[in-house]
Amino acid sequence: MPIVLPPDLMVSVSGFRGRVGDPLTPELVTALAAAYGAFLRTEGGERSVMLGRDSRTSGPMLAAAAGAGLASVGCDVVDIGIVPTPTLMMAVRDAGAAGGIAVTASHNRAEWNALKFSTAEGVFLDAPGMARFRELLAEEIPRAPWDRVGEVTRDEG
């Protein structure tokens, strides 16, 4: 099913942000992460995806939703826990991962959160990359069969 973005969700080249619960729900985060996982598989093969977050109260819930979305399309996920976004991006590059998702709303108020997307090079998606990713949102996201669902592991070392 195509992903319909709520009108009050803020969309930028670095990702999607909104108030937790409305419009940024766990269901939407799962869907967006699944779409990003499918995007990464078309762009860079079957390498793992790194996941990190900030210390916001909603972080564990939204990171779990993002991990589930990525695993649902066959991506193995390495959750590195609470880290600054630049640390996540360096970890993506250093690990040779396909990309990464940071669950962080930076300077926004506590009731906000966001998904920011990293490429394999450890940088945010550029405008053409985000445009290609957003095109996927209008398509059916291919889910992995039961025996190819990705694994989520934690590595806070």
- 6 domain residue, yes or no: no
Q: What are phi and psi of 7, to 5 degrees?
A: -65, -25
Q: Does residue 74 sit in helix, strand or coil?
A: coil
Q: Which residues are annotated as catalytic? A: 106
- 55 domain residue, yes or no: yes
pLDDT (tens, 9 = 90+) of the chain, 157 residues, equals 789 999 999 998 879 999 999 999 999 999 999 999 999 998 877 789 999 999 999 999 999 999 999 999 999 999 999 999 999 999 999 999 999 999 999 888 999 999 999 999 999 999 999 999 999 999 999 999 999 999 999 997 7
- 134 domain residue, yes or no: yes
Neighbouring CB atoms inside 10 A of 47's CB total: 17
Q: What is the DSSP letter of 33?
A: H
Query: Which ranges constitute the DSSP H helices of the chain?
Result: 26-44, 59-72, 85-95, 127-136
- 17 domain residue, yes or no: yes
Total domains in the chain come to: 1
- 25 domain residue, yes or no: yes
- 3 domain residue, yes or no: no
Dist. CA 148–CA 73, nearest whole Å: 8
Which amino acid, residue 109?
Answer: R
- 4 domain residue, yes or no: no
Dist. CA 117–CA 123, nearest whole Å: 8
CA 64 to chain centre: 11
- 5 domain residue, yes or no: no
- Among left, alpha and beta (phi > 0; psi -120 to 50; other), residue 19 is beta
CATH number, domain with residue 32: 3.40.120.10
User: What pTM was computed for the model?
Assistant: 0.96
- Distances from the Cα of 153 to the Cα of 12, 32, 69, 123, 149, angstroms: 29, 20, 14, 23, 13
Find residue 113's DSSP bridge partners.
18
Give residue 44's domain range: 12-138+149-154
